[in-house]
Amino acid sequence: MASLYSPQSQAGVMSFYDAPSKGPKISPKVIFIAVAVFAIIVLVVDHISYL
């Protein structure tokens, strides 16, 4: 079976993800904390709805 990997396509993907963007820079810690807080809120609301 032929492999679909080629160094040129891999370099193209890396240059796409390394391209600078104009959007806001958000730390991965902020995203993780926001997801954790959202999950806790959903669990609390779900628990309250059963009361």
pLDDT tens across 7-47, in order? 555 555 556 556 677 878 889 999 999 999 999 999 999 99
Distances (CA, A) of 33 to 6, 30, 38, 42: 38, 5, 9, 14
Entry field: residues in the chain: 51
Instruction: Write down the pLDDT at residue 18.
Output: 61
Q: What is the per-residue pLDDT for 39?
A: 98
Domain ranges of the chain: 25-51
